[in-house]
């Protein structure tokens, strides 16, 4: 896994934790840290997390390297 993939995955995890906090406790940690949901910095961070999530979609459909060279057994 490359550095970009790990960074994107970390951002998606942060976004998921934020969504969980919003769902269970109505608390937006990103907004609380960076000046509310409407602040420019919060909106930029929300956008970056969204872009990271779109990038992680490519990881979902990426073939597993461990099985790339194997063939299916014949009967």
pLDDT digits 0-9 by tens, 6-47: 999 999 999 999 999 999 999 999 999 999 989 999 999 999
Instruction: Enter the pTM of the model.
Output: 0.75
The CA distance from 66 to 41, in Å, is: 40
Q: What integer pLDDT is reported at residue 47 of this predicted model?
A: 95
CA distances, 54 to each of 9, 14, 51, 63, 67 (Å) = 10, 14, 5, 17, 25
Q: What integer pLDDT is reported at residue 7 of this predicted model?
A: 94
Instruction: Return the ∠ at Cα 69 (arms to 66 and 72), rounded to 5°.
Output: 100
């Amino acid at each position: 896994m490359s550095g970009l993939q790990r960074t994107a995955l970390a951002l998606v995890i942060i976004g998921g934790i934020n969504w969980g906090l919003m769902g269970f406790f109505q608390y937006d940690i990103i907004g609380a840290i960076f000046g509310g949901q409407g602040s420019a910095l919060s909106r930029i961070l929300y956008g970056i997390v969204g872009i990271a999530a779109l990038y992680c979609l490519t990881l979902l459909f990426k073939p597993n390297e461990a099985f790339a060279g194997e063939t299916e057994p014949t009967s």
